[in-house]
Structure 1
Amino acid sequence: MRKLEYTFKTDTLFKMLFVQYPELLKKLVADLLGIPLEGIGQFVIRNPEMPPENLGDKFCRLDINMTVNGQRVDLEVQVCNEGDYPERVMYYWAREFSSALLTGQGYSTLPRTIVISIIDFPLFECEEYHSFFQPLEVTRHTLLSDKMGFHFFELPKLPSDVGEDDMLLLWLSLFKAETEEELEKIKEMEVPVMSQAINAYYTITASSEFREKERLRAKARHDEAQALHNARREAKQEEKFEIARHMISDGEPIEKIVRYTGLTKESIENLKV
């Protein structure tokens, strides 16, 4: 199988494609939220920009903020689980929700704010690929407010067989696809929206603008990985020094400390100073 160089999960591709093809984004959001396309009146992308100077920042988050029928919708794709994803999502929800309150306005004017996360890892201990959370009273299950909502779509849990009439699963299958054969299989179903999305994929990935943006993002990812590697190496080295200090205080011979820690005699002697 021919592995895709970039997938729909690639954050630069995700942002560029759906900003440049807003009708595709509108259809995607309608299917993710489970509402009819014709039911969407107001549809505005509020953060279409992707400044090159921000792409080199490892903290740059390439999500898409929208206003859909008066409610705020934040859509993002996440590939790696760093162990704190629910907290991260709630943090971004809180920032998005609170930023909508203008000076002099009452709290009741705050809009319904929904976060949609398409994630490439299992997050919850359940078989369902779609989970939706809202704040409920724990015994009576009374809804506190419908202005908070979190949709999670877990790609590893998708069924292997997808019908051409299931638009939600078709969209998610696009995001899950890792090979050209998988994209071609979806395109062969001759679902117009899917064909449009795949054609847009090839148009975007062939552009020099995308290649440059992805180069900057790849550099940021590499720099972050290198910084993490260096931090772990320094922590491991400091652990060796700490062991050596204890052995020195216990009167252990240098030769034994060298064997236990792998440190040089010179570095151990320096610890005695």
Structure 2
Amino acid sequence: MAGSKKSKAKQTPTDDRFLMSPKVDFVFKLIFGDEKNKDLLVAFLSAVLGVPAEDFEGIEIINNELLREFAEDRKGILDVRIKMKQGKQIDIEIQILPTEFMPERTMFYWSKMYTSQVKPGDTYSKLKKCITINIVDFKCTPLQKLYSSYHLTEDETGYRLTDIIEVHFLEIVKLADLSIPRDENDRIVEWMEFLDAKSKGVIEMLAEKNKDIKKAYDLLQIISKDEKARMLYDAREAELRDQLTRIETAVNRGKAEGKAEGKAEGKAEGKLEAARNAVKKGLSLEDIAEITDLPLEIVQKLKAELSN
């Protein structure tokens, strides 16, 4: 019996049925943030940005970890930054935990990426286009779209003031909303479905249609069987669950406190309304204060307000 348990424990990390979720930032990094898998990164970027894969020739992964400058960044955000030969920079973030002020946060980090290109004495000609791609597992926009892109344009004419800024949101949580229109053959949708896939069957169907997803799937299977990677994955998932639990606890606590506060406010307002009616009926102020359990000063103030 003991030997059987030991054997089962050894097989778990390499269990063929087990597959890591590619939307967990740790796994996303192994697939798209590794120099050895640069072709997969190019395929993904080509789909999202709508440009030929040839345009990414000679790209360099210059940073694949987010510098966590604020407490809220502990929520687990992966940052993969790419530099193209022309000097353009692309920043990819994947975030599966709800984050407040995501658009504002995006613009803050975009601005840091943009301004970091110049040093004292440089001219504005040194500034190159910066692109941010946000892959999120929560709703960031009210749009009935799975993905959206943003530029700096004039309100009425749509004239693009400059091409230096480009922001993309891929809201994978919206895949569950079947009322949102989509093209199942759209390469962006295919990559989003790959990231959100909850079974091997789904990924295998995508792999049959898309050779790049097939390669990503093959890599994912190798990663999922690696014992060290599995330990790191389990630890990352535990951390994310802990963070999500803290978020939910805080939200529930806030709701409970708000409900209690609402009850207290309702009870106080009820006392005031009863006191107003009693004043109108001519009861003595002392009796009203005793009946409603309100301070005499409050009852006197109510009478003065009703007399005006």
TM-score calculated relative to the size of structure 2? 0.65
Which residue of 166, 183, 198 corresponds with 1:149?
A: 166
Alpha-carbon offset, residue 138 of structure 1 = 1.7
Q: Which runs of 5+ in 1 are unaligned?
A: 52-56, 253-273
Q: How much has 1:148 moved relative to structure 2?
A: 0.7
Q: Does 1:202 align with 2:221?
A: yes
Q: Distance in 2 between matches of 1:143 and 1:195?
A: 37
Q: CA deviation at 1:84?
A: 2.2
Alpha-carbon distance, 1:161 to partner: 6.2
- Whether the 8 Å contact between 1:76 and 1:116 is mirrored in structure 2 is yes
Residue 200 of structure 1: how far off its partner (Å): 0.6
* Root mean square deviation of aligned Cα: 3.6
Structure with the bigger percentage of helix: 2
Counterpart check, 1:6 vs 2:28: no
Q: Which has the larger radius of gyration?
A: 2
Structure 1 residues 59 and 162, CA, compared in 2 at 3 Å: closer, same or farther? closer
Q: Give runs of aligned pairs for residues 1-273 of structure 1, distance below 5 A.
A: 6-20=20-34, 21-48=37-64, 58-69=74-85, 70-155=87-172, 156-157=174-175, 162-163=184-185, 166-189=186-209, 191-228=210-247, 231=250
SS of alignment partner, residue 236 of structure 2: helix
For 1:18, give the aligned amino acid: F
| Helix, strand or coil at the partner of 2:153 | coil
Residue 162 and residue 60 in structure 1: after superposition, are their counterparts in 2 closer, same or farther (change >3 A)?
Answer: closer
Q: Which has the higher contact order (CA 8 A, sep 6+)?
A: 1
**Unaligned runs of at least 5 residues, structure 2:** 1-16, 68-72, 269-288, 292-308
| 2:105 partner letter | R
Aligned length in residues: 243
- How many angstroms apart in 2 are the aligned matches of 1:121 and 1:223? 17
* Aligned match of 1:263: none
* TM-score, normalised via structure 1 length: 0.72
Secondary structure of 1:145's counterpart equals strand
Deviations 1:198-230 (A, max 9, x none): 001111122233223323423432443454466
* Identity within the alignment, %: 24
Alignment match, 1:258: none
